[in-house]
Every structure is written in structure tokens, then in C-alpha cells.
Amino acid sequence: MDGAALTLDIGLTQSVATNADSVLVRRAAAGDTAAFEQLYRSHVGRVHGVILRLLGMDRARAEELTQEAFVRAWQKLGSYRHESAFSTWLHRLGVNTALMELRGRRDEQAMDDDALQAAAGGEVPFCAGERADLERAVSNLPPRARAVLVLHDVEGWKHEEISLELGMAVGSSKAQLHRARGLLRRALGGEI
């Protein structure tokens, strides 16, 4: 019973937040920068968080790209159709801003999937130590492998979505994930 009440409460809170966002978005789209600042204050943590992880914890660059993402959001507010939650739209825009950096890096993309499989070392369960170790290991991954791992395992994206955003085949996305997990396993000491 308590669980049901909690679920209802969370749902209600999210609904109120979405409505509040919707009002602010309409005001911001009409040129109200104060409304946009409120949206910034509400969402900057989530947008910055995903950009930071995609960039391997490069704080200075992540702040630059977060700033860029919000400027782009301001410019694109007119095209936001209120079909999805503003937070989802903004989060996606933040991810795209970070991925724009990675799309230009063709050197890794040139590696074929077999090589990636070999690098990963086969299907082996993972074992990680502390969260800090895991964060550090993720940030040390090659950029594209890290992007796929963060989007799939942390953000919950599907391979189809990742392949579209990163401009790669679905198979390559799976191979990159496999490679990333293998490299992580190795970096964390290979404790099985």
C-alpha cells in the first residue's frame, strides 16, 4: 500500500514538474529569458551529467558543451512540439551536442568489428570494485566505446538509437559495447 502511494506521489510530482516546464517553455519561446533561466536551473545538472560522462569526466570541456547545449536549446525552442517531456528533449539535445565531438573521430570507427571482439576477449561476466574505480575506468575508455557504453548501460538507450546518433551500424554499436565491457573488465583487474 505504501509502495503504491509512493508511486502515485512520484507520478504526481513528475506531472506537476512537466506542467511547470511546459509553461516556462512557452514563455521562453516567446523571448522570456527569465523563464529560460528557470529551465536552465532545473535541468542543468542532468544535461551536464550526461555530457560529462560522455566526455570521460573532462570537466572544462563538459561545461563548454553544456553551455552550448543550452544556447542551442534556446535557438530550437520554437521547434519543440511538447510531444515529449521537455527534460527528455533537452537531455537528448545535450547528448547530441557531446556526440558531435565524437562523430568527427573517424580513427576508431575504422577498426573492424572482429578486431573489437578480439580486444574485448569474449563473453565474460564483469566484476567491478568501488564506484570511483568504475567511473575512472569508464572515463579512460576510448571515446566511441565509452559513448556506446554510457548510452547503453548508463542511460538505457537501445543499440538502434545509438547507431543512429553515432552514425554507425547496429552491429558496430554492439561490438563497441562488447569491447568497452572487455576493456573495463581488464582495467578493473579481471576479477570474475
Partner 1 sequence: MNNEFEWRSEMRKLGGSVEPVHDLWPNIAAQIATRSTLRQNRWQIAFAIAATLVIAFAAGFVAQRGNWQSLNADSRLPPSSAMAWAQPRDAKLAAAARDLDDASAQIQQALEQHPDAVFLVGLLNRANGQRMRLLRQSQTHA
Q: Give the interface with partner 1 as residue ranges (CB under 8 A).
A: 31, 33, 36-37, 40-41, 44-46, 48-50, 52-53, 59, 62-63, 66-67, 70-71, 74-75, 125-128, 131, 134-135, 138, 149-150, 153-156, 181, 192
**Whole-number Å distance between alpha carbons of 127 and 153:** 15
* CA 74 from centre of chain: 20
- Nearest distance, CB of residue 144 and partner 1, angstroms: 17
- Nearest distance, CB of residue 61 and partner 1, angstroms: 12
Angle of helix 159-166 relative to helix 86-103, nearest 10 degrees? 50
- Nearest distance, CB of residue 110 and partner 1, angstroms: 27
Angle among Cα 124, 128, 131 to the nearest 5 degrees reads 150
The DSSP 8-state label assigned to residue 30 in this structure reads: T
The C-alpha cell that represents 121 in the structure block: 576477449
* CA 11 from centre of chain: 23
* CA 68 from centre of chain: 16
* CA 164 from centre of chain: 14
Nearer to partner 1, 92 or 111 (CB): 92
Nearer to partner 1, 167 or 190 (CB): 190
- Nearest distance, CB of residue 161 and partner 1, angstroms: 16
Nearer to partner 1, 128 or 170 (CB): 128
Nearer to partner 1, 62 or 166 (CB): 62
Nearer to partner 1, 42 or 109 (CB): 42
- Nearest distance, CB of residue 121 and partner 1, angstroms: 15
